[in-house]
Amino acid sequence: MINEWVKKATKNLIDTVTSASDIDATTDLVLANAVYFKGAWLVPFDSYRTQRSSFHRLDGGGAETEFMTTGNIDFMDVACLDGFKVLKLPYKPGADPWTRYSMFVFLPDARDGLSTVVDVVTASPAYLYGILAEMKRKPVSIQLPKFEISFSWSDLKRDLGRLGLSLPFSPEAVDQRGMCKEDDVAGGARRPTFMSKVAHKAVVKVNEAGTEAAAVIVHSVGGGGPPPDLVEFTADHPFTFFIMEE
User: What pLDDT score was predicted for residue 144?
Assistant: 93
pLDDT one digit per residue (tens) for the chain, 246 residues: 777 877 777 777 777 767 777 667 766 666 666 667 778 888 888 888 999 999 999 998 999 999 999 866 678 899 999 999 999 999 888 777 777 889 999 999 999 999 999 998 888 878 888 888 889 999 899 999 998 877 676 666 676 777 676 656 666 555 555 655 555 544 445 556 666 666 667 777 778 776 332 222 222 233 444 556 788 999 999 999 888 887
The answer to whether the beta carbons of residues 34 and 6 sit under 8 Å apart is yes
Q: Nearest Cα to 146, choosing from 232, 235, 212, 72? A: 235
**What is the rounded distance in angstroms from the CA atom of residue 104 to the CA atom of residue 135?**
11
Q: For 47-146+205-245, which CATH class? A: mainly beta
Nearest-angstrom CA–CA distance, 72 and 14: 36
pLDDT for residue 66: 94
Q: What Cα–Cα distance (Å) separates residue 61 from each residue in 13, 55, 110, 117?
A: 29, 9, 15, 21
Which distant-in-sequence residues (6+ apart) come within 8 Å of 214 by Cβ? 40, 41, 42, 44, 92
Alpha carbons 41 and 124: distance in angstroms, whole number: 28
pLDDT at position 167 is: 58
| pTM over cut 0.85 | no
Residue type, 110: A
What whole-number distance in Å separates Cα of residue 39 and Cα of residue 214? 9
Scanning 76-170, the segments in alpha helix (DSSP H) are 114-121, 125-133, 156-162
Domain range list for the chain? 47-146+205-245
**What's the helix, strand, coil split of the chain in %, to 5?**
20, 35, 50
What is the per-residue pLDDT for 224? 44
Q: Is 132 helix (H, G, I), strand (E, B) or coil?
A: helix
Q: How far is C-alpha 81 from the geometric centre of its chain's CA atoms?
A: 21
How confident is the model at residue 77, as a pLDDT? 93
CA 199 to chain centre: 16
d(CA 89, CA 91): 7
